[in-house]
Chains A and B, each alone.
Chain A
Amino acid sequence: NAGVTQTPKFRVLKTGQSMTLLCAQDMNHEYMYWYRQDPGMGLRLIHYSVGEGTTAKGEVPDGYNVSRLKKQNFLLGLESAAPSQTSVYFCASSDSPNYGYTFGSGTRLTVV
C-alpha cells in the first residue's frame, strides 16, 4: 500500500551512541516532517522539509540533524543520544501544508 514507511520500528541505544531513522514515502509529496510524541506533550515538530534538498528547524531541533537528498526520503539523525531523546518518533508527508498529513507508524526509541 502507498504511504509512509519508517525504519526501524524499535531501537534501544546507549547514551552517546548515534543512529539514523529513515522515512520513505511513495506518494511524491513535497513536504516531509519529523515529530516526536511524548506523554502529556502531544506531537512536537523536530525538523521539516519543503522539498528535495531543503530542511528547516521545528520547535525542538536540538540534538537532531536531518537530510533530504532524495525527494522520497527524509533522514533523522541523532549524533550523540541522550536519555531525554527517549520518545516515539513519527514521520509525516503531505502535498501541501494545507492538506492533511500522512503519517508513518512510528519508531519507538529508548536511550539508556
Chain B
Amino acid sequence: AQSVAQPEDQVNVAEGNPLTVKCTYSVSGNPYLFWYVQYPNRGLQFLLKYITGDNLVKGSYGFEAEFNKSQTSFHLKKPSALVSDSALYFCAVRDPRYQKVTFGIGTKLQVIP
C-alpha cells in the first residue's frame, strides 16, 4: 500500500524568509511524487513532480522540492516566501505499478507580512 504523511497541520513563516513544507511517503518501489497548492474555494493546482533524475525538482511560482530516498521525504521549499503563497499544500504519491495517486491531508501555509 502507498501512503503519504504531512506532519504539520500549519506552517507559519515571515514574508521574505525561506519556507519548507514537509512530506514523507511510503511505497514498495520507486515513487512518483507530486505537490499541489489549493487557494480558498478553488481546485488544486499542480506545482511540481518527481519521477526520476535530479533529486531537486523545480516547479511553478518559484517552488522546488528535494527528493531524499534514504529519508523517504519530498519536502517543498521556496527561498523567499510571499504573502500570496498562503494556501493549502498537498503532497501526493503514486506507486508506478498502480493507477491511483494518494494525497496527504494537506498543510496550511501562512505567510506573515
Residues of A at under 8 Å CB distance from B? 4, 31, 35, 40-45, 48, 50, 56, 58-59, 90, 92, 97-106
A103 contacts B106, C-beta separation under 8 Å: no
Residues of A within 8 Å of B112, CB to CB, are: none
Q: A105–B51 Cα gap in the complex (Å)?
A: 26
Q: Which of A40, A56, A100 contacts B105 (CB 8 A)?
A: A40
B32 contacts A106, C-beta separation under 8 Å: no
B16-64 at interface with A (beta carbon < 8 Å): 32, 34, 36, 41-49, 51
A56 contacts B99, C-beta separation under 8 Å: yes
A41 contacts B105, C-beta separation under 8 Å: yes
Residues of A within 8 Å of B46, CB to CB, are: 100-102
A99 contacts B90, C-beta separation under 8 Å: no
Interchain pairs with CB closer than 8 A, number: 60
Residues of A within 8 Å of B101, CB to CB, are: 45, 97, 101
Interface size class of B (residues with CB under 8 A): 20 to 34
A42 contacts B105, C-beta separation under 8 Å: yes
Residues of B at under 8 Å CB distance from A? 32, 34, 36, 41-49, 51, 90, 94, 96, 99-106
B43 contacts A100, C-beta separation under 8 Å: no
A90 contacts B44, C-beta separation under 8 Å: yes
B44 contacts A50, C-beta separation under 8 Å: no
A42 contacts B100, C-beta separation under 8 Å: no
Question: Would you list the 7 A-B pairs with minimal beta carbon distance, nearest first?
Answer: A100-B46, A103-B43, A42-B105, A43-B103, A103-B44, A42-B103, A105-B43
Q: Which of B41, B48, B106 contacts A42 (CB 8 A)?
A: B106
A42 contacts B90, C-beta separation under 8 Å: yes
Residues of A within 8 Å of B49, CB to CB, are: 98-100
CB distance from B83 to the nearest CB of A (A): 23
A48 contacts B99, C-beta separation under 8 Å: yes
Residues of B within 8 Å of A97, CB to CB, are: 32, 94, 99-101
Q: A99–B102 Cα gap in the complex (Å)?
A: 14
CB distance from A105 to the nearest CB of B (A): 5
